[in-house]
Amino acid sequence: MNNTHLNERQLQRYLNRMCTELEFNKMGKHIHGCTSCRTRLHSLLEMELLLDQMPLLAAPPKLEDRIMKSIYADAGADIGKQAISSVIQKRGAGAVNRYRSELVNGFIAVAATYLFINSGIIGKIISINADSWGADVQNRVAAIESVVTRISIQLLS
């Protein structure tokens, strides 16, 4: 760290002890040997002390009332926009319902695919070599395939 100087953020973290113990020790060693960083740290410390001495300003009178009126005015405008958009939605409700059902079916298909892949069923089916295991294994693979097909059809219909 002796080659590179600490930036303002690192100095501020060092000053507020908002860094790990290892970082704090490294920064402390660097600051001990670097006059430039030590001077900048000292100026940050002076600024912190000056800010601590400044009095807190009170909010202007009736600021809360003005903020609440603004919020109510914005909420009233939003309610008007929602009423207009609901009229527009009623006109195209058939198309929206059709797209909604297609979207739901698509999400169900994605979820089923995710479950099959995540549970490892597809991996087990792919890894089975039916030729070398005989007729019993082929029957089990066929049964698993039919179960997967039935579940997929039920979820997608």
Residue that the structure tokens 């926009």 belong to:
81
* Structure confidence at residue 25 (pLDDT): 92
Q: Is the pLDDT of residue 29 over 90?
A: yes
How many other CB atoms are there within 10 angstroms of residue 41's CB atom? Answer: 20
In the chain, the percentage of residues whose pLDDT exceeds 70 is 73
Q: Are 31 and 38 in contact (CB under 8 A)?
A: yes
Q: What is the dihedral of CA 114, 120, 125, 127, to 10 degrees?
A: 130
* Structure confidence at residue 139 (pLDDT): 76
**Measured between alpha carbons, how far is 30 from 3 in angstroms, rounded to an integer?**
9
Confidence band for 30, pLDDT divided at 50, 70 and 90:
very high
Average pLDDT, the chain: 78
Q: 71 vs 5, which has greater pLDDT?
A: 5
